[in-house]
Amino acid sequence: MSSSTNISALYRELSDALTEVLAENAVGLARRGRLARARAAVKRHADYSESGYLQAVEAAFNNWEAMQNTGR
């Protein structure tokens, strides 16, 4: 992972991957693999911060909740 990769893009990828896993109830290994790769990339980045990581996770849960509410 090069440090030139934008940490915001990595947080967004993490959030998207987690939202996908939550929406699919974690049934597919490929989806969980994507989440694991995104998480590892975020954690390895030079600009990683715990607060940024938690914001990405919170965004995923907010997206998932919105998806649940639209389905009703």
Tokens encoding 28: 């597919």
pLDDT at 70 over 60: yes
Q: Please give, one letter per residue, the 3-state secondary structure of 19-34.
A: HHHHHCCCCCHHHHHH
Average pLDDT over residues 50-64: 97
69: part of which helix (H) or strand (E)? Answer: helix 50-70
Instruction: Measure the CA–CA gap between 64 and 9, rounded to whole angstroms.
Output: 19
Phi, psi angle pair for 63, to nearest 5°: -65, -45
Over the stretch 1-37, which tens digit does the pLDDT of each residue have? 445 589 999 999 999 999 999 888 656 677 889 999 9
Sole residue written with tokens 């998932």: 64
